[in-house]
């Protein structure tokens, strides 16, 4: 590993000493409008106080600078990459953060770079020693920062960039130079400790942790649909001053209070947790945490005043068969509030019961303020892959609007079961299901639509909770959402929640274990390519078509395939919902006219009343009027931008910038790239 600082022309020794004395790095004044954390704040929100760019002048935006890291890979498409034939193309999903006057971001290859926030000039970079060939889809969604109060401002390792790495390590880097910063006597935090042996790539750190005071709290990402023996989804807290483990919480399903560092394991009556839960005394891969528990791969939130950290959990592995989970579903697909100091469960709210659809909670629990009977309530908004938005009291976990346990289709495969009901919020309405009369099938031509109808006749579909079957089932929404990791933006001035939604389906078929060999390829129930996922440890593997599409590769469901919506947080009503993106860059001309494209990413809102979002499969960054949903501007990108855009202003009289990473996405089939692009108004410096 090494940090690289951009070279500068040498100066005479005497002048160098004078300049060093005069310009020793020091903490700058706070930006007029900053972006210190990936989600904008400790509770997300994606909100900026910047007001220089307004609905009236946003159409004047132009490119201010472009930085290119060189970190991208052409590779192969998603299906070929998963089959192991060739490396997968790179996908860039990162969000930069602003530290003083520089942006810090991670590339898909886990290289950390810092650039001047006004010019895009690279200041330093750090390259970890990671074997990229061990990871099917190299990725990093961002970094975070921490200030060590023991170190004087301006000194080495006062402000530390905290970077997650795919190989289960967390490293600290000096924000001004990129040099390594230790955690006590530990060079880095090793999250592989306690997980037992596992294949590289089966446990990764892709999302930055949360930090409160000197405690770092993180989950981890596990490989989906491979085996029931994937590493644990344990949530852990570390002391950044010493590198020692403070506590660990495993989602083991105790129906009374869960399990934390001081409690016993699960409802099975297993032995108390070993000493590794209390302190990090030995760096080994000995198994201390139970395999196969639900994990948390997305962004966490913290409320220091309440003393709570909010954990969005995935569904228990494997995703589509739950007959052998042995009670591990209790905290699956939930928002879990843990006490920051101990890791004990304060409350949890489950968004899906016995999740066999991969409807895990994908996004950061997002804070907002709410009024009830004239009293202020601390709110939490949770977007989901189902397209539901749950609005909760973040002190208690109680819904702010009634949540109705609703009967859903039954009839799981042999050995599994379905929950009789699922929780559905009365408000807001589902953002996946658009109002009005909508046909299930659509085609660009009658032949196209007919082919889609033939496919639908072969599979089961009874709504969003149609269980997986051996004959094949249509899942709408799919495992991609609905909503995904991008999460919502909260306009705290206008009381609105802004969120994007994907409106597409996939087809899934469970195959009995004896049919899971190479011969599982022929005779598919749907056209197009599919992936075969082993699901080892269960009676089934699964065959998954990543899109419910016609032989032309066009979605079988009607457009829009992507929308952007506004929810009034006080009433729970949907103010507006508009198509997001077009089929440009997805289909050849003249078929660019279809509105609403597939999307992955998230929005950002400003105090001036603007919503910025990339996310779409067409190559644009867009600005919408937050009040009305009108599209006001779009800026062309070299490829699609699936990271969160950010906006900032260093000083009151300097330019407001809007920055996004444009790097494409293997799943959406958008080209790879390495462009970090900034926009500003032409008359501002």
Neighbours of 578 (CB within 10 A): 16
Range 200-220 burial, b when 16+ CB lie within 10 A, else e: ebbbbbbbbbbbbebbbbbbb
d(CA 291, CA 633): 48
What span, in angstroms and rounded, lies between the C-alpha atoms of 466 and 462?
5
Please report, for residues 334, 422, 580, the alpha-carbon distance to residue 400 in angstroms, rounded to integers and kept in the order given: 16, 18, 28
Return the closest-CA partner of residue 488 out of 333, 660, 364. Answer: 364
Q: What is the Cα–Cα distance from 37 to 117, expressed in whole angstroms? A: 15
Q: Are 642 and 663 in contact (CB under 8 A)?
A: yes
Which two three-digit tokens encode residue 102? 């520089």
| Spatial distance between the Cα atoms of 231 and 345, rounded to a whole number of angstroms | 21
CA separation for the pair 295, 536 (Å, rounded) = 18
Q: Please report, for residues 202, 230, 267, 338, 384, the alpha-carbon distance to residue 292 in angstroms, rounded to integers and kept in the order given.
A: 11, 5, 16, 20, 22
For residues 265 and 272, give the distance between their C-alpha atoms in angstroms, rounded to a whole number.
6
174 is catalytic: no
Residue 452: closest CA among 476, 481, 424: 476
Measured CA distances, 175 to 72, 111, 657 (Å): 24, 14, 21
User: Which stretch of DSSP H or E encloses residue 83?
Assistant: helix 78-83
Query: What residues have CB less than 8 Å from 199, skipping those under 6 apart?
Result: none
Q: Phi and psi (nearest 5°) for 518?
A: -60, -25
Task: Compute how many other C-beta atoms are within 10 angstroms of the C-beta atom of residue 553.
Answer: 14
Preceding amide of 590 cis, omega within 30: yes
Pairing of strands 675-680, 656-662: antiparallel
Q: List Cα–Cα distances, 9 to 6, 12, 13, 355, in angstroms.
A: 10, 10, 12, 59
Nearest to 500 by CA among 572, 404, 566, 573: 566
Question: Minimal CA–CA distance to 220: which of 280, 144, 165?
Answer: 165
Joined together, the tokens standing for residue 273 give 């947790």
Using CB atoms within 10 Å of the CB of residue 275, give its burial: 0 to 12 exposed, 13 to 18 middle, 19+ buried. Answer: exposed
Q: How many residues does the chain have?
A: 685
What's the gap between Cα 380 and its chain centre?
Answer: 17
What's the CA gap between 514 and 539, in Å, rounded? 9
- Of the listed 358, 416, 491, 585, which one is catalytic? 358
Catalogue the active-site residues. 358
């Amino acid at each position: 590993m090494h940090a690289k600082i951009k070279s500068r022309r040498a100066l005479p020794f005497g002048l160098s000493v004078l300049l060093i004395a005069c310009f020793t790095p020091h903490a700058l004044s706070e930006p007029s409008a900053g972006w210190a954390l990936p989600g904008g704040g400790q509770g997300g929100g994606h909100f900026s106080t910047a007001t220089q760019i307004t609905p009236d002048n946003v159409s004047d935006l132009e490119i201010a600078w472009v930085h290119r890291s060189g970190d991208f890979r052409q590779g192969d498409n998603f299906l070929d990459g998963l089959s192991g034939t060739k490396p997968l193309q790179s996908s860039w999903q990162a969000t930069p953060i602003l530290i003083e006057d520089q942006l810090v971001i991670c590339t898909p290859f886990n290289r950390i770079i810092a650039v001047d926030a006004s010019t895009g000039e690279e200041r330093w970079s750090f390259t970890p020693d990671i074997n990229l060939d061990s990871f099917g889809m190299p990725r990093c969604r961002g970094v975070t920062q921490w200030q060590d109060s023991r170190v004087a401002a301006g000194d080495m390792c006062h402000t530390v960039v905290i970077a997650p790495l795919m190989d289960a390590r967390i490293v600290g880097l000096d924000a001004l130079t990129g040099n390594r910063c230790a955690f006590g006597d530990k060079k880095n935090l090793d999250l592989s400790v306690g997980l037992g042996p596992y294949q590289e790539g089966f446990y990764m750190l892709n999302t930055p942790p949360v930090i409160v005071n000197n405690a770092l709290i993180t989950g981890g990402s596990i490989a989906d649909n491979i085996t029931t023996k994937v590493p644990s989804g344990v949530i852990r807290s570390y002391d950044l001053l010493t590198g020692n483990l403070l506590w660990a919480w495993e989602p083991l399903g105790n129906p009374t209070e869960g399990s934390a560092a001081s409690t016993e394991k699960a409802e099975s009556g297993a032995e108390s947790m070993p000493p590794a839960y209390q302190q990090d005394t030995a760096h080994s891969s000995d198994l201390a945490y139970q395999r196969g528990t639900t994990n948390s791969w997305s962004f966490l939130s913290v409320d220091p005043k309440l003393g709570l950290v909010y954990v969005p959990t995935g569904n228990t592995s494997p995703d589509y068969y739950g007959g052998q989970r042995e009670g591990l579903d209790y905290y699956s697909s939930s928002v879990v509030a843990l006490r920051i100091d101990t890791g004990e469960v304060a409350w949890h709210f489950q968004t899906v019961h016995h999740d066999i659809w991969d409807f895990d909670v994908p996004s950061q629990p997002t804070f907002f303020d709410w009024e009830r009977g004239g009293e202020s309530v601390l709110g939490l908004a949770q977007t989901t892959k189902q397209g539901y938005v749950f609005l909760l009291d973040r002190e208690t976990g109680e819904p702010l609007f009634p949540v109705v346990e609703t009967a859903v289709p039954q009839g799981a495969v042999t050995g599994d079961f379905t929950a009789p009901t699922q929780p559905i919020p009365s408000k807001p309405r589902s953002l996946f299901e658009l109002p009005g009369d909508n046909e299930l099938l659509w085609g660009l031509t009658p032949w196209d639509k007919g082919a889609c109808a033939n496919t639908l006749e072969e599979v089961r579909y009874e709504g969003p909770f149609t269980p997986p079957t051996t004959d094949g089932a249509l899942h709408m929404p799919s495992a991609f959402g609905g909503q995904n990791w991008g999460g919502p933006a909260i306009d705290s001035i206008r009381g609105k929640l802004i969120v994007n939604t994907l409106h597409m389906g996939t087809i899934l078929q469970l195959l009995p274990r004896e049919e899971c060999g190479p011969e599982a390829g022929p005779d598919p129930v749907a056209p197009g390519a599919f992936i075969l996922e082993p699901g080892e440890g269960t009676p089934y593997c699964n065959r998954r078509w990543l899109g419910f599409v016609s032989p032309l590769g066009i979605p079988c469901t009607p457009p829009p395939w992507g929308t952007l919506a506004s929810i009034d947080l006080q009433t729970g009503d949907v103010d507006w919902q508009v198509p997001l993106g077009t089929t440009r860059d997805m289909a050849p001309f003249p078929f660019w006219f279809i509105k609403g494209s597939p999307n992955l990413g998230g929005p950002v809102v400003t105090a001036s009343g603007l919503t910025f979002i990339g996310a779409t499969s067409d190559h644009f960054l867009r600005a919408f009027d937050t009040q009305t949903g009108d599209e006001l501007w779009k800026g062309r990108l070299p490829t699609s931008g699936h990271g969160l855009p950010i906006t900032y202003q260093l000083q009151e009289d300097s330019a407001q910038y809007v920055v996004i990473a444009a790097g494409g996405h293997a799943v959406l089939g958008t080209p790879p790239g390495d462009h970090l692009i900034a926009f500003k108004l032409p008359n501002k410096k």
